[in-house]
Amino acid sequence: MSQPLLQIQSFSVSFGAFRVLNNIHLTLAPGESLALVGESGSGKSVLARSIIGCAGAGARQEGTVLFRETNLTSASDQTLTSLRGGKISLMLQDALSALNPLYTIGRQMMETIALKHPAFAKGAGRAWKGFGRSDKPALRAMALELLHEAGMDRAEECFHAFPHQLSGGMCQRVMLALALAGEPDLLIADEPTTALDVVVQKQILHRLTQNVRARRAALLLISHDLHLVSEFTDRIAVLYAGQIMETGPTRKLLANPRHPYTRGLLEAMPKANTPKGSLRPIAGEVPAPWERDQGCLFRGRCPKALAGCALPPQEYVVENGWASFCGQLPHTTIPHAPSGGGPAYALCS
Ligand X SMILES: Nc1ncnc2c1ncn2[C@@H]1O[C@H](COP(=O)(O)OP(=O)(O)OP(=O)(O)O)[C@@H](O)[C@H]1O
- What residues make contact with Mg ion under the rule CB under 5 A? 44-45
Contact 194, 140 (CB under 8 A): no
CB of 16 to ligand X, least distance (A): 7
Of Mg ion, ligand X, none, which one does residue 151 interact with (CB within 5 to 8 Å by kind)? none
Residue with smaller CB distance to ligand X, 181 or 221: 221
Report, in Å, the least distance between residue 239 CB and ligand X.
7
Task: Identify what 56 binds: Mg ion, ligand X, none; CB under 5 to 8 Å per kind.
Answer: ligand X
Cβ distance to ligand X smaller for residue 158 or 238: 238
Q: At its nearest, how many Å lie between Mg ion and the CB of residue 263?
A: 22
Which residue number, 55 or 115, has a Cβ lying nearer to ligand X? 55
Nearer to Mg ion, 38 or 151 (CB): 38
CB 33 within 8 Å of CB 49? no
- Residues forming the site for ligand X (CB under 6 A): 15, 20, 38, 40-46, 56, 93, 289
* Contact partner at residue 3 from ligand X, Mg ion, none, CB < 5 to 8 Å by partner kind: none
Q: Which residues contact 301 (CB under 8 A, 6 or more apart)?
A: 264, 282, 283, 284, 285
Q: How far apart are CA 268 and CA 276, in angstroms?
A: 13
Cα 50 off chain centre by? 12
**Residue number, nearest CB to Mg ion:** 45
Which among 169, 338, 181, 317 is positioned nearest to 253, based on CA atoms? 317
Tell the smallest beta-carbon distance from residue 93 to Mg ion (Å): 5
Name which of 45 and 328 has its Cβ closer to Mg ion. 45
2 binds, options ligand X, Mg ion, none, Cβ within 5 to 8 A by partner type: none
Q: In angstroms, rounded to a whole number, what is the distance separating the alpha carbons of residues 67 and 277?
A: 46
**CB half-sphere exposure, 41, CA atoms < 13 A:** 6
Question: Residue 240 CB, nearest distance to ligand X (Å)?
Answer: 10
Partner whose binding site includes residue 182, from ligand X, Mg ion, none (CB under 5 to 8 Å by kind): none
We find the least distance from the C-beta atom of residue 46 to ligand X, in angstroms, to be 4
SS3 content of the chain, % helix, strand, coil (to 5): 35, 20, 45
Q: How far is the CB of 203 from ligand X (least distance, A)?
A: 22
Pick 55 or 144: Cβ nearer ligand X = 55
For Mg ion, the closer CB: 44 or 259: 44
Positions of E strands within the chain: 6-15, 18-28, 33-37, 59-67, 70-71, 88-91, 186-190, 218-222, 235-240, 243-249, 316-319, 322-324
- Spatial distance between the Cα atoms of 22 and 28, rounded to a whole number of angstroms: 19
Backbone angle region of 73, left / alpha / beta, with phi > 0 → left and psi within -120 to 50 → alpha: alpha
